[in-house]
Structure 1
């Protein structure tokens, strides 16, 4: 169990370093127009925008599924 947790944490750490290095490389070696296309206008907060988008998409799907289940099972209770 601890070996697995150790290796997963090592993998996550290596992945985070790789993503950080790749973003730094893209910022340093691409023209501004290409950077704007790839990373968007707010280039300093790409990770935050990505996580916010994922959370909003998950929340939207969760609310839709909850509403679907409420309509399906609320009629059985009443």
Structure 2
């Protein structure tokens, strides 16, 4: 169990480092118009916008699935 947590944590950290390095490279070596196309007009908060989008999508899918399961099991009880 702890080995898995360690490796998952290490993978998450490696992913965050790789993404931040890639974004820094893109910011340093691309023209402004290309950078705006890739990262959007608000280039300082790309990570937060991405994380917020992922959380919102997860919440929407979770609520949809929860409602589906509730309806299925309520129908079985009737």
> What TM-score, normalized by structure 2, do the two folds share?
0.78
Q: Report what 1:48 is aligned to.
A: 48
Q: Report what 2:19 is aligned to.
A: 19
Aligned-partner Cα distance in 1 for 2:77–2:33: 58
RMSD: 2.1
Aligned-partner Cα distance in 2 for 1:10–1:68: 35
Q: Report what 1:61 is aligned to.
A: 61
Q: Which structure 1 residue ranges, 5 or more long, are not aligned?
A: none
Q: Which moved more, 1:3-12 or 1:16-25?
A: 3-12
Cα shift readout 1:27-77 (whole Å, capped 9, x = no counterpart): 111111111111011111111111111111111110110111111111222
> What TM-score, normalized by structure 1, do the two folds share?
0.78
Q: Which structure 2 residue ranges, 5 or more long, are not aligned?
A: none
User: 1:63 and 1:22, CA in 2 relative to 1: closer, same or farther beyond 3 A?
Assistant: same
Q: Report what 1:70 is aligned to.
A: 70
Cα shift readout 1:3-23 (whole Å, capped 9, x = no counterpart): 665555444444333322211
